[in-house]
A and B are shown apart, each in its own frame.
Chain A
Amino acid sequence: QVQLVQSGAEVKKPGSSVRVSCRTSGASFNTYIVAWLRQAPGQGLEWMGKIVPIVGVGDKAHKFQGRVTFTADKSTSTAYMDLSSLTSADTAVYYCARETSQGYFDFWGQGSPVIVSS
């Protein structure tokens, strides 16, 4: 049973950074592509990028270039998303998901709310 379990809610000040973790189980971490997506309140879904843990490289949506970093710890089967220079526009629920080799998302974490407020 594939599972992705994310870290809890965060409240951050504008200009600061946030780290969200995503612990995986139920399949070899070496077979994963971990994607990161977000959903602002009342809005749709937005793909931020992905990481391939076995090689430690991935891809980022153009919008987040220079502001987001994806890493993975193979020893704990955990992926991380770091987002810097936060503004109120970054207030959202952040999801990790398993991205298939084709590019759709078959298993999702439960979501991590991030609130950016002064």
Chain B
Amino acid sequence: EIVLTQSPDTVSLSPGEGATLSCRASQSVSSRWVAWYQQKPGQTPRLLIYGASNRATGIPDRFSGSGSGTDFTLTISRVEPEDFAVYYCQQYAASRTFGQGTKVEMK
């Protein structure tokens, strides 16, 4: 099983600041088969990024994904008030597993 470890566990930001969220895999993820999701309290997860760097339909361009091999990153260029949430990475190269999540909270 591919284990995904996200860091940091929590990041505190002010609106307008940038955010860099990391997702490290226990083994190489082939074909960059990594997705990112956003989940707000009491809500369903929302697909942000698939294929490591492709934005899903309707996702603002302040969200971007990058990476390959074992290291993947979600970047929020300028955090908006509606971006405070928990973010999960997921790999789908070998079965499906998720990271433990990174909480983006307001400073």
Is A46 among interface residues, defined by CB-CB distance under 8 A?
A: yes
Which of chain B's residues 74-104 have a Cβ closer than 8 Å to chain A?
88, 90, 92-93, 95-101
Q: Known contacts A44-B98, A47-B98, A61-B95; is A104 also within 8 Å of B90 by CB?
A: yes
Q: Known contacts A44-B88, A45-B88; is A104 also within 8 Å of B98 by CB?
A: no
Q: Is the CB of A104 within 8 A of B44?
A: no
Q: Is the CB of B56 within 8 A of A106?
A: yes
Instruction: Name the A residues within 8 Å of B35 (CB-CB).
Output: 104-105
What is the interface residue range for chain B against chain A?
20 to 34
What is the interface residue range for chain A against chain B?
10 to 19
Instruction: Name the A residues within 8 Å of B95 (CB-CB).
Output: 47, 61
Q: Mark B17-42, 1 if CB is under 8 A from A, else 0.
A: 00000000000000001010100000
Listed in ascending order, the chain B residues whose CB lies under 8 Å from chain A are 33, 35, 37, 44-47, 50-51, 56, 88, 90, 92-93, 95-101
